[in-house]
Amino acid sequence: MKQIRSYRGLRLEQPRAPSGLRFVWVAFLHLGLLATVLSAADRANSADRYAVSKGDLQAKFEYCQDCHGPSGQGYRGFSPIPRLAGQQTEYLKNQLQAFVEHRRTNNIMFNVAHTLSPSMIAALAADFRALNPRPLGGAPKGLVATGEKIFQNGVPDANVAACAACHGPDAQGSGEIPRLAGQLHDYIFNKLTNWSKERGLNPAKPDTAAIMSPVAHSLTRPEVEAVAAYLSYLK
């Protein structure tokens, strides 16, 4: 995690009035630089994984599955708990640190993240990355076609860029850009509709999640529901 902290010292130059396609593409270029830095950091820390005993890792992995479901496929309880299976390792590590630094809000995850060492975080992220269970599904299938169109092409009339431009045509993500394929549709809906209340809450620690703000704010409720439905069935 030390290397991840160090890259946060880099200033990400963003337009004063970020919006639409121009903002997303500029942010995407910045993320390409960050992905390079993080990739080097990940290689330098690859040995950390072996500093965690198999017993400790297994115990913590099972603890995570208590909430995130068997094989990290997600779980619908009092509120939707996200799928971790197949997620990008850099994204998982960054988000755990985001809970510690209050760039994201969740009292349960705040306490969980505080107990994890950098080595354990790296090991857990690698194990969840290797999983790929079937998506839970459950979203209205009648919305899937519309959701696919928005994901692949954006909403030109609202100046919303294609989701695929950053998350990839198959929604697999890259580096700190998360995988969305197979994610619970109600979880995606909740995150997008509450973006400004849950992401980037610590101005002293800039968060890459800021690039999603104009997109989340520009999509209508039906559009968010459609995109979420489409993503929830992707493998």
Tell me the CATH number for domain 18-232: 1.10.760.10
| pLDDT at 4 > cutoff 50 | no
> Looking at residue 184, what DSSP letter applies?
-
Local confidence band at 48 (pLDDT 50, 70, 90 cut-offs): low
pLDDT higher than 60, residue 19? no
* pLDDT tens digits, 106-138: 899 999 999 999 999 999 999 999 999 999 999
Structural domain spans, the chain: 18-232
Alpha-carbon span 131 to 124, nearest angstrom: 11
* pLDDT for 45: 45
